[in-house]
A and B are shown apart, each in its own frame.
Chain A
């Protein structure tokens, strides 16, 4: 009797188990179908699209979810859930990309070393705001790579560039940097990317400095704020400049807007701030710098001259640097050193030369620095041409 009762109990228990296992799957499928029916009846219904997206993800069908969140984000660009889900799925689904940008250029500086020429006449110091001119050739290589590593999207960037001067070989500079880090989908579609970075600079073919740093970058899919970046870096200079060794904190924001004055134009505003803390307690090694760059890009027309489009970009940069405890023996210095810099400029841009991904820049800028310390102001007219090809 006991055996029969046990067998009956086991039979009763075993029958529902497969049905119970199938129930969630069939429930998910039914939920997905129900959500789809609502979407196809009214595809602009944001709530229905979100429900369909969630159901598709639960059913293990991210490609349907991606399309649903794209619909929701198109119909309600400010919808936080749609933006966040879209970013999260794109980080996983979108394929690897590698952009290679190679640049070559020629440049002219009217005051290649930012010199101030001081003419001593008794106690009176007269400044001429310029030194010798020079012409340089420059080259650059940038690699920007995004790929999935172990299910996590990873972004890496590398830069190499250098210039070569005709008159002063000692002015030649070379620089390389690498940066890498994972990418995370954050709140409201904001993409967060912590990264590790290293850079090295050379001057006159000798090591000048190297740095190691950490940064966190946030990229915003909606609104005028496009990017926010906070960084920390430690820097060591070559031995004769050891007092300059130190560390820096930096912050930078990028705002952008399109179709500002008319269709096809764009405006970019980039404020930044840096605090550099040098090892030395006095001198020009410790300072705070802040500035902003404003650029407007307007389409002039095209195709013309082999380019698919011609753009004009007036720019304006203003910066200030405030030194801590700067010392210089001169009768005309006025308290703590403060430098202010204005750099108006203009770029003429030709895109897609002969149908290739070749962009040409012709630029001019006037770099004007004024310091309350004698011997530190300068003027420099900078002009040149730069060609960037993407592979």
Chain B
């Protein structure tokens, strides 16, 4: 029995090692904050771990990760998110490079790398995104709602019905609700801002809950009232500016 335990452990490590070795290494988990899970070898990712083609990456609550690919593409994956690294071929010498990433849920920022612009495809449950020298923020909600915000460059979104929408102005937002036509706008909704806030920095509770305003008081003085002398002390300064 005692002898079988090291043998089983050795066999397990060998199988895992072989499985990792057979995978196509596409980049690295360049930052890992809290709980981030990789599907290859069912491992908890650490900073510096290799990531592989066809691997699912899942982040937990209050967790995030940055994935850095061999062509300098970057994926910032926010809390409670799931992405699949469907395909990644980078061979600048021979050409034929291409990358495809699927976003199952959550929030992420995609920063394109060195491949030709038509080489990238970001798949969402509502359609796919093609990019041109781009930074784009993407949110996929649990109900299938998809939100895109163009930060830099340009992108084209093709929905499941084949309709195409192009975003070319930084700041443009495209929101697609399940079963509806998408809407193009210039600002994120509050819930989108909150979802994206977890990508890079934690938002403070005070920012989420602004205090009700304090009104200036009228400096009324010496108003007589019922049997005695009444005096007000209100003389709040008009120096708020805040």
CB within 8 Å of B: which residues of A?
36, 39-40, 42-44, 63-64, 66-67, 70-71, 74-75, 93-99, 101, 103, 105, 113-120, 131, 138, 140, 142, 159, 161-163, 170-171, 173, 175, 177, 179, 197, 199, 201, 203-204, 208-209, 211, 213, 215, 221, 226, 229, 231, 233, 235, 241, 244, 248, 250, 252, 256, 258, 266, 268, 274, 276, 284, 289, 295, 297, 311, 313, 339, 349, 351-352, 355-357, 359, 361, 363, 369, 371, 375-378, 386, 388, 390-391
Contact = CB atoms under 8 A, between A and B. Distances in A.
Contacts of A390: 190
Given A39-B68, A43-B48, A391-B190, A116 B210 contact: no
Contacts of A170: 218, 220
A376 B231 CA distance: 7
B152 interface: yes
Interface string B201-242: 110111011101101111110010101111111110111111
Contacts of A211: 238-239, 241
B220 A197 contact: no
A98 B187 CA distance: 7
B241 A120 contact: no
A120 B224 CA distance: 13
A142 B233 CA distance: 29
B135 interface: yes
Contact of B205 (A70, A98, A311): A311
B68 A40 contact: yes
Contacts of A386: 212
A36 B72 contact: yes
Instruction: Report, nearest first, the 4 A-B pairs whose CB atoms are least far apart.
Output: A357-B190, A95-B171, A203-B218, A43-B30
Interface string B12-36: 0000000000000001111101000
Interface string B74-114: 10100000000000000000000000000000000001110
A67 B66 contact: yes
A97 B216 contact: no
16 contacts: A40-B70, A43-B29, A43-B31, A63-B111, A74-B33, A74-B66, A93-B151, A95-B151, A98-B187, A173-B215, A211-B238, A229-B242, A233-B241, A244-B235, A377-B233, A388-B212
A93 B135 contact: yes
Give the dominant DSSP class at B's interface: loop
Contacts, number: 218
A314 to B, nearest CB: 14
A10 to B, nearest CB: 37
Nearest to B66: A71
A94 B238 contact: no
A75 B31 contact: yes
Contacts of B202: 258
Contact of A235 (B74, B170, B218, B238): B238
B193 A97 contact: yes
B209 A361 contact: yes
A201 B238 contact: yes
B231 A375 contact: yes
A113 B222 CA distance: 11
Contacts of A175: 213, 215-216
B191 A355 contact: yes
A361 B212 contact: yes
A241 B193 contact: no
B166 to A, nearest CB: 17
A391 B111 CA distance: 28
Contacts of A313: 209
Contact of A105 (B74, B209, B212, B240): B212
Contacts of B200: 70
B164 interface: no
Contacts of B40: none
Given A44-B47, A177-B241, A201 B216 contact: yes
A40 B90 CA distance: 15
Given A115-B230, A115-B232, A297-B205, A95 B149 contact: yes
Contacts of A179: 241
Contacts of B188: 97
Nearest to A373: B233
Contacts of B135: 63, 66, 93
Contact of A96 (B112, B186, B201): B186
Contacts of A252: 242
A119 B228 contact: yes
Given A116-B230, A203-B217, 6 more contacts: A179-B241, A231-B241, A235-B238, A276-B239, A351-B209, A357-B194
Contact of A199 (B72, B220, B238): B238
A106 B220 CA distance: 23
